[in-house]
């Protein structure tokens, strides 16, 4: 069975603080793909990043960075110097190579950035 | 840029009405998906389609049906709306044309209220 756990239901920080959103996954597939999405208050989910299981390099994109660790089955997302515009619900998702097009979604973490 | 559009942002219907939610994507994607999103439950897959006239049930298909007569259009049908179908409905699409690219692209969502 495949599963994605986002244990943090809600996180609240003050602007300019760094914040890390946790994502832990379970899969028996040796090849799989992990994703992060952002859902701002407007409602539309926005794709942020895809990571393949055979590529463990961490990724940085501006203030965003992702730490993929197969040893702990985690794919954590860090926002550096957070801004109010980062306030959103963030979802982590998993696709196994045999999963027939579907993504397995975490429950989401609501991030509140206070000015 | 991928564009996924949904016919309505907000919809109010009465119990027992037949409801059509339309989704159109302009990127020639093969796969299309319908989700519902409820507080605390994350995204749950209702149906998906991997080709014209092809469909597969997701996790919560009861009370819903779908139609895909053209590649770009995927409709969700509530045959007889009930109050427990009040929710946010999200449409998504994805392609198999780019290797390792399985991310889904989402529309803005339709917030349906059944009274």
B23 min Cα distance to partner chain A (Å)? 14
Question: A37-78 pLDDT, tens per residue?
Answer: 999 998 889 999 999 888 888 888 899 999 999 999 999 999
pLDDT for the residue A14:
97
**A14 φ/ψ sector (left φ>0, alpha ψ -120 to 50, else beta):** beta
pLDDT-derived band at A13, boundaries 50, 70, 90: very high
* CB-CB neighbors (< 8 A) of A105 in chain B: 42-43
With a cut of 50, which residues of chain B have pLDDT below it? none
Q: Which residues of A touch B40 (CB under 8 A)?
A: 107
Q: Could B102 and A105 be called an inter-chain contact, meaning their C-beta atoms sit closer than 8 Å?
A: no
Contact A35 B103 (CB under 8 A): yes
Q: What is the 3-state secondary structure (H, E, C) of A56-68?
A: CCCEEECCEEEEE
Res B96: pLDDT: 77
Adjacency order of strands within the sheet including B4-6: B4-6, B19-25, B73-78, B65-70
Q: According to the model, what pLDDT value does residue B1 have? A: 67
| Residue A7: pLDDT band with limits 50, 70, 90 | very high
Give me the mean pLDDT over the A18-29 stretch.
96
User: What pLDDT score does A56 carry?
Assistant: 81
| C-alpha to C-alpha distance for B3 and A46, rounded to whole angstroms | 12
For B100, the closest of A52, A91, A105 (CB atoms) is: A52
Taking every pair of Cα atoms in chain A, the longest distance, rounded to a whole number of angstroms, is 44
DSSP reduced 3-state for B83: helix
Average pLDDT of chain A is 92
Length of chain B: 115
| Mean pLDDT across A88-113 | 88
User: Tell me, what's the pLDDT at A55?
Assistant: 84
């Amino acid at each position: 069975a495949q599963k994605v756990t986002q244990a943090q239901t809600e996180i609240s920080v003050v602007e300019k603080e760094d914040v890390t959103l946790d994502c832990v996954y379970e899969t028996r597939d040796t090849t799989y793909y992990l994703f992060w999405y952002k859902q701002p208050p407007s409602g539309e989910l926005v794709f942020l990043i895809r990571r393949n299981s055979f590529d463990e390099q961490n990724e940085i994109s501006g203030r965003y960075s992702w730490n993929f660790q197969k040893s702990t089955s985690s794919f954590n997302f860090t926002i550096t110097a957070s801004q109010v515009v980062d306030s959103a619900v963030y979802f982590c998702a998993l696709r196994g190579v045999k999963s027939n097009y579907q993504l397995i979604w975490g429950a989401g973490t609501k991030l509140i950035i206070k000015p | 840029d991928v564009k996924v559009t949904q016919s309505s942002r907000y919809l109010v219907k009465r119990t027992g009405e037949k409801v059509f939610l339309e989704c159109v994507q302009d990127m020639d994607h093969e796969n299309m998906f319908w989700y519902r999103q409820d507080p605390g439950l994350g995204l749950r897959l209702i149906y998906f389609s991997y080709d014209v006239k092809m469909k597969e049930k997701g996790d919560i298909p009861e009370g819903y049906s779908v139609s895909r007569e053209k590649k770009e259009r995927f409709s969700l049908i509530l045959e007889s709306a009930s109050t427990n179908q009040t929710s946010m409905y999200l449409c998504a699409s994805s392609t198999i044309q780019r290797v390792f690219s399985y991310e889904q692209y989402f529309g803005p969502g339709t917030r349906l209220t059944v009274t």
